[in-house]
Structure formats: structure tokens, C-alpha cells
Structure 1
Amino acid sequence: MALRYRRILLKLSGEALMGEGSYGIDRVTLDGMAAQVARTAALGVQIGIVIGGGNIFRGVSAGAAGMDRAQADYMGMLATVINALALQDALRRSGVDCRVQSALTIEQVAEPYIRGKALRYLEEGKVVIFAAGTGNPFFTTDTAAALRGAEMAADIVLKATKVDGVYSADPKKDPHANRYRTLTFDEAIGRNLGVMDATAFALCREQKLPVCVFSIFKPGALERVVRGEDEGTLVTVS
């Protein structure tokens, strides 16, 4: 089947890297995600990735209680760099040429974020991991995904979660909850479905950048999404 999306921005949560653990990185889970990305890249899809840091930051969250918000957010950005380096290593072991660009300057371990260079890497078929969020406190990695997706002229933002889409209710609590196949941004906001944080969602709507919410743990799901198959929940302007 032909590809529907040629350039994607994949948003991975830090929590997804934990597997069944309470915090940290689960090696089996990480390698499984890298394998999905590798198979999708082999189809000819250009892939940018924004990764969260909740799995690392969660381990010190009790110590961050009461901390200055900006200081805590910078700590969270550093956690995303750790995850980005781990993912880069896993992708390279899967045979994928990969670069990490950081919104914070940490030149010993990652390149600084430069839009033109990132675009060139994507065009060359390299996977680009965008670390440290937007580089600013008070903005989530969801917002970073929307921002980088717009800057990279991505066809879609893919939000990888543990749930295979957006549901009318919590599927773990309500067995009759229905998965939405498609939604408009206005419907998602009106029903308070919490697809992404408000800033990220507003940016995607303004830029007419569709969002797909899907489960990264479902085998082959990422490949099915880029082919335009019925996978996850697609959120569009209309």
C-alpha cells in the first residue's frame, strides 16, 4: 500500500520507555520502539522525533516538590536529552542513521538545534531526535512536537501512547467506551478529550497540522498509520 505520509513528527512520551517499571528506561521496550521506527524509515518515511522526560524526572519528582517551576522544567529538559541519547543508541543498533539535536546547548553529546540542518538530515533519510523540548520552561514536549512538526513541514504529528486512540471514556474503566476513528480539533476541544495540551493543540489547529493518537505498543501500528490505515484516532481541522 502506498504511503499517505512522507514526513512525520513522532511524539514519544518518556513514560512509554518505562515498560512495566515505575521509572527509568526499559531496554526491551526501547528496542521494540526503535525496531518500529527502523521499519517505518525503511519504507521511505522521513522521521523526526520529540521525546519526553517523565520517566527520568519521575525518579526525582519528590525532590522537585516545591521547587521553582522554571528550574524544575530545565531539569525535565535534561531528562529528555538522556532519553534522546538512549533512543539514538537503540536506533543505531537497528541500523538507522540518526542525529540528536538539542534546544539546550550540550555540544559534547548533541548538536544544537538548527532548523536548516535538521531539514537536510531528514531529506537525506536520517532520523532526527529533537531533545530538550522547546528549550524554554513552561512549555511541554507536546508543544515542542507541534512546534517542530510545523518547522519541519511535517505531514502529521503522531502522538504515541499506551492506548490505541482517543476514546469516549476511559477504556480501562468503561468496557463500552468507543474509539473515535476521526475527530476535528473543535470536537476534541468541545468534548474535553485531552488529546494534547492546549498550547500544542492550538498550534496544530492553526497550522492545519493533523494529529494521530495511536499505541506504540501495538505491533506494526506505526507502519499502518503512515500508510493511512485505520489505526488510532486522526484529528484534523475538518
Structure 2
Amino acid sequence: MKYKRVLLKLSGESLMGDKQYGIDSERVAQYASDIRDVYKKGLQIAIVIGGGNIFRGLSAEKSGMDRVQADYMGMLATVINSMALQDALEKVGMKTRLMTAIKMEQICEPFIRRRAVRHLEKGRIVIFGAGTGNPYFTTDTAASLRAIEIQADAVLKGTRVDGIYTADPEKDPLATRYNEITFQEVYDKGLNVMDLTAITLCQENKLPIIVFDMNKAGNFMRVADGEPLGTLVTG
């Protein structure tokens, strides 16, 4: 494999499958199968999942809810998604650990960097839940931060589209995809890749990001093996 250790970032919306909200068990099972196949090639895998399929703090703030309260609710939504993926991974024979930035001793471990790295070295798939544990930070930022902390080789962002486009490809049929783009170009063009805090963290720590379509079975394997799939953000 091209990488030794990666952080896979999944959006909460990706877990919905064809549903309008919630968790599609078939989609989660497909993800678990793809992750298992890559794991069996010897790759160390950490995962961060968003919570937008259950609750989104920014949307709640717009409707009048206190932003801090809404963000904490969003963090809890990421834990629900993390538990669903953990269950699916264990059903296909994977050993996992769920670690969260908010203490929930009955269901998971608190995030401790050295312990997380040790779990990875022992061959466990580590899922990081509850974002950074702080309001005003997205799960994109949590993914970048955790990837840097565990010294991952790359952030692999699995989405519903096959890369970064000049515009939203679901809305603009003339949008074209970038095969490779720099962090500075992301800033300059105002592209919606990850939030700017996450992009800045990756840029300052020279951590590449690859955006790809996770919904197509086998794509995670192709990206992890170094195939030029999706869009690479580097430089």
C-alpha cells in the first residue's frame, strides 16, 4: 500500500444512503466491508464521522438555538454514527476502539493520543467521535487535528462525489473536476473542500488530503493503494 497510516473522514450525510435522514444499514455495511478489505492489506486506519444525518449545529443555530448547545448536540450525533460504524466493522471481524473527546465511559474510551497510536499499532481500527470536544469546530477540523496527532500519512475524505469541482456538480452540470490542486488554490478559489481551519491545519503540517467517492465499492482500496482517484490537495 502507498500509505502506512491514514485517517478516513466520512460525512454524516454519506451514512444516509438513499434515505432522507438517519442511518442506512446497507450503506454502513458497504463501508465496513471496504474498510476491512483495506485493513487486510496492512494499513492502519483511523476514522472520523460527521453527524449531519442526525443533527447539524449550524442549521440549528439559524433556527434560533444557542450555537454552543447546538454544537454539543452535533457532537453527540457523531458518537451515534461512530457506534453504528463500530458495530458494522465488528460484524465483519474487525477489532475496533471508539475514542471520544467527551467522556462517555460506558460506551467508549476518552481520547488519549498515545493510547490511540498504540491501538493502531496493535492492529485495531480507531474511530474518533465527538469532534474536537469544543463548540465552533467542525468534524473536518477534528479529522485534520486527529490525523496530525496520530501522524497519519494522509486524510482521505470519502464523500458522495468523486472529487473537488469548480462548482457543486449536483447543481451545476458544467462543473469540472480537479485532479490535483494546492491548498492555496483552495483558499483563492473559495472551494468547499473542508472548512478553512481544517485546510490550514493540513497545509501547515504538510498533510495531503484526497477527496474521493466512498459510495462506490472498492474506491477506498484504490485510493489507499495510491491510484490517482478523486482530487489530491497538497502543496
TM-score, normalised to structure 2, is 0.96
Deviations 1:90-124 (A, max 9, x none): 00001111100010000000111011110001111
Residues 62-141 of structure 1: pairs in structure 2 closer than 5 A: 65-141=63-139
Which residue of 2 is the match for residue 17 of structure 1? 15
Paired residues, number: 234
User: Conserved in 1, the CA contact under 8 Å of 2:60 and 2:70?
Assistant: no
Deviations 1:7-30 (A, max 9, x none): 000111111001111111010011
Deviations 1:208-230 (A, max 9, x none): 00000001111211111111112
Residues 40-51 of structure 1: pairs in structure 2 closer than 5 A: 40-51=38-49
Deviations 1:7-64 (A, max 9, x none): 0001111110011111110100110011111111111110000111111115xx6698
Alpha-carbon distance in 2 for matches of 1:144, 1:57: 17
User: Conserved in 2, the CA contact under 8 Å of 1:6 and 1:226?
Assistant: no
Instruction: Give the aligned residue type for 1:211.
Output: I
Instruction: Give the aligned residue type for 1:153.
Output: Q
- CA gap 1:64/1:176 in 2 versus in 1, 3 angstroms: closer
Unaligned runs of 5+ in 1: none
Q: Give the match's secondary structure for 2:94.
A: coil
User: Conserved in 2, the CA contact under 8 Å of 1:17 and 1:24?
Assistant: yes
Unaligned runs of 5+ in 2: none
- Provide the identity percentage: 58
Q: Which of the residues 146, 149, 154 maps onto 1:148?
A: 146
TM-score, normalised to structure 1, is 0.94
Q: What root-mean-square deviation, in Å, do the aligned CA atoms of Structure 1 and Structure 2 show?
A: 1.6
Q: Which of the residues 33, 36, 41 maps onto 1:35?
A: 33
Instruction: Give the aligned residue type for 1:218.
Output: K
- CA gap 1:62/1:32 in 2 versus in 1, 3 angstroms: same
